[in-house]
């Protein structure tokens, strides 16, 4: 096996030879190599956040017609490192009366809950931390650690605003888990397996990526994931103008840096999950070579991350009751409808044509999704027509006008 055909096994075999040469027992070598793999994946996530924050800031700046960070390093690349240095050298305060153990655990749980998702994401063929047979459900399970972390962060700060922010955050996160899980079940259904590696490999050609078979499900998954991360337009809970930074008011210094990094990494993780589940993951031209597949993976996930940052910069913030209404009255019924229709149609197609590989499968399912979308749009329009929006106008105020200038006498004939 050459280096390019299978870099990981090549390096692992070389390291194994090295360690055996040093006289270590085989079991210990196995443990060391596994820990090395875990170390690499976890650190990749945390170090990549540094680059991601810069990308986000530059994107937001350019979309707002300004330059963004451009002083520290070429094109401002080292800005994030400067921010990290600042955050780590800040004083690490603990509010009086706070539950110290719980206060310290919360940021750790927040980071861990995001890093654990990286264990089941395939970077290339066979490049997966552990190919769990229940990978999709595992992602939901690990997300619940983040919810608990938010709740105890708000509670242990001994601050009523933090507690209120934590309650609202948890209400939002738990509500948006429902359409997330429902739309997650659609790639599981189409791939006949819950394992993420199998879901990626079930999207065999460019026309059988699950986005074509279930565009509405992809959109619902994307929107619910953005709400799960807590980014705009769903970031009421940490908006400075609303509740003064919400559940992480009392965190400063390194702990705040951890929560902050966890949020950005979570945003990147959901872009990775969207492209893995719906856009074919690491597949692309020349993906027999794992390094090329990894490049495709990064390109696709950066495109999804660009969309997340774009939405953040463009859309205004939703109010909490609008947010919850949107979830329970729109996303959940739509996700249920799409799930039922997709399940029925997929069974009919696969039984009718005898195989999962026909081109009729994406074609018919796409048409069904378009139909559902059109029906939804018609229903929404009819409902909006029944409740005309009241234009709230105040009583007309007198408009200020400057007084007419007094009539000037005609200027004298040209003075000599």
Instruction: Tell the burial category of 32 from Cβ atoms under 10 Å away from its Cβ (0-12, 13-18, 19+).
Output: middle
Please say which residue, 59 or 136, places its beta carbon nearer to another protein. 136
Give the DSSP letter of residue 124: B
Count of other CB atoms within 10 angstroms of residue 97: 9
Smallest Cα–Cα separation from 60: which of 45, 73, 76, 46? 76
CB of 28 to another protein, least distance (A): 12
Phi-psi region of 349 (alpha: psi -120 to 50; beta: other; left: phi over 0): alpha
148 near another protein, rule: CB under 8 A: yes
130 near another protein, rule: CB under 8 A: no
Please say which residue, 138 or 326, places its beta carbon nearer to another protein. 138
| DSSP notation for 341-378 | HHHHHHHHHHHHHSSS--THHHHHHHHHHHHHHHHHHH
155 near another protein, rule: CB under 8 A: yes
The helix/strand/coil state of 23 is coil
Q: Which residues contact 332 (CB under 8 A, 6 or more apart)?
A: 178, 179, 182
CB of 29 to another protein, least distance (A): 15
99 near another protein, rule: CB under 8 A: yes
CB of 163 to another protein, least distance (A): 7
Number of chain positions touching another protein (CB under 8 A): 29
* Residue range at the interface with another protein (CB under 8 A); choices 144-152, 260-268, 331-339, 357-365: 144-152
Torsion of CA 290, 291, 295, 300, to 10 degrees: 10
Site string for another protein, 193-212 (x = CB under 8 A): -x------------------
Using CB under 8 A, which of 38, 61, 81, 170 touches another protein?
A: 170
CB of 181 to another protein, least distance (A): 9
Using CB under 8 A, which of 54, 123, 138, 212 touches another protein?
A: 138
Instruction: Tell the burial category of 317 from Cβ atoms under 10 Å away from its Cβ (0-12, 13-18, 19+).
Output: middle
What's the CA gap between 366 and 210, in Å, rounded? 10
What's the CA gap between 74 and 58, in Å, rounded? 13
Using CB under 8 A, which of 10, 19, 75, 145 touches another protein?
A: 145
* Residue range at the interface with another protein (CB under 8 A); choices 48-56, 136-144, 237-245, 348-356: 136-144
Using CB under 8 A, which of 81, 140, 320, 324 touches another protein?
A: 140
Using CB under 8 A, which of 21, 23, 97, 388 touches another protein?
A: 97
What's the CA gap between 154 and 166, in Å, rounded? 5
Please say which residue, 134 or 298, places its beta carbon nearer to another protein. 134
* Residue range at the interface with another protein (CB under 8 A); choices 127-135, 203-211, 218-226, 333-341: 127-135
Contact assessment for residue 186 and residue 300, using Cβ atoms and an 8 Å cutoff: no
What's the CA gap between 156 and 271, in Å, rounded? 31
Binding site for another protein (CB under 8 A): 97, 99, 101-102, 105, 132-134, 137-138, 140-145, 147-148, 151-152, 155-156, 158, 163, 167, 170, 174, 177, 194
């Amino acid at each position: 096996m050459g280096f390019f055909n299978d870099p990981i096994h090549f390096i692992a075999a070389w390291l194994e030879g090295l360690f055996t040469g040093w006289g270590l027992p085989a079991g210990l070598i196995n443990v060391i190599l596994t820990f090395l793999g875990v170390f690499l994946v976890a650190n990749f996530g945390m170090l990549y956040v540094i680059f991601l924050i810069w990308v986000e800031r530059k994107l937001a700046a350019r979309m707002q017609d300004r330059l963004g960070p451009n002083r520290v390093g070429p094109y401002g690349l080292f800005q994030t490192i400067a921010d990290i240095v600042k955050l780590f050298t800040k004083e690490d305060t603990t509010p009086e009366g706070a539950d110290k153990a719980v206060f310290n655990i919360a940021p750790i749980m927040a980071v861990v809950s995001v890093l654990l998702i990286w264990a089941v994401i395939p970077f290339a063929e066979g490049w997966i931390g552990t190919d769990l047979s229940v990978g999709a459900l595992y992602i939901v399970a690990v997300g619940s650690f983040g919810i608990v972390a938010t709740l105890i962060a708000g509670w242990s700060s001994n601050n009523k605003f933090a507690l209120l922010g934590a309650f609202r955050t948890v209400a939002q996160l738990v509500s948006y888990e429902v359409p997330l899980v429902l739309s997650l079940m659609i790639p599981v259904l189409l791939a006949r397996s819950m394992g993420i590696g199998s879901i990626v490999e079930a999207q065999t050609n460019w026309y059988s990526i699950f986005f074509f078979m279930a565009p509405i499900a992809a959109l619902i998954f994307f929107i619910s994931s953005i709400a799960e991360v807590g980014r705009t337009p769903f970031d009421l809970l940490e908006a400075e103008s609303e509740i003064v930074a919400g559940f992480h008011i009392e965190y400063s210094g390194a702990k705040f840096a951890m929560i902050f990094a966890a949020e950005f990494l979570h945003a990147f993780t959901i872009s990775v999950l969207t492209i893995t589940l719906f856009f074919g993951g690491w597949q692309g031209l020349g993906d027999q070579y794992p390094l090329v597949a990894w490049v495709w993976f990064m390109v696709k996930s950066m495109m999804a991350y660009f969309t997340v940052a774009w939405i953040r910069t463009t859309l205004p913030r939703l109010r909490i009751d609008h947010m919850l209404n949107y979830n329970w009255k729109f996303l959940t019924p739509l996700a249920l409808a799409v799930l039922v229709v997709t399940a029925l149609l997929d069974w009919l197609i696969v039984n009718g044509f005898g195989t999962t590989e026909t081109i009729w499968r994406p074609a018919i399912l796409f048409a069904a999704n378009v139909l559902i979308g059109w029906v939804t749009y018609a229903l929404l329009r009819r409902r909006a027509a029944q409740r005309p929006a009241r234009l709230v106008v105040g009583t007309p105020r007198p408009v200020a006008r400057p007084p007419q200038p007094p009539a000037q006498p005609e200027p004298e004939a040209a003075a000599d």
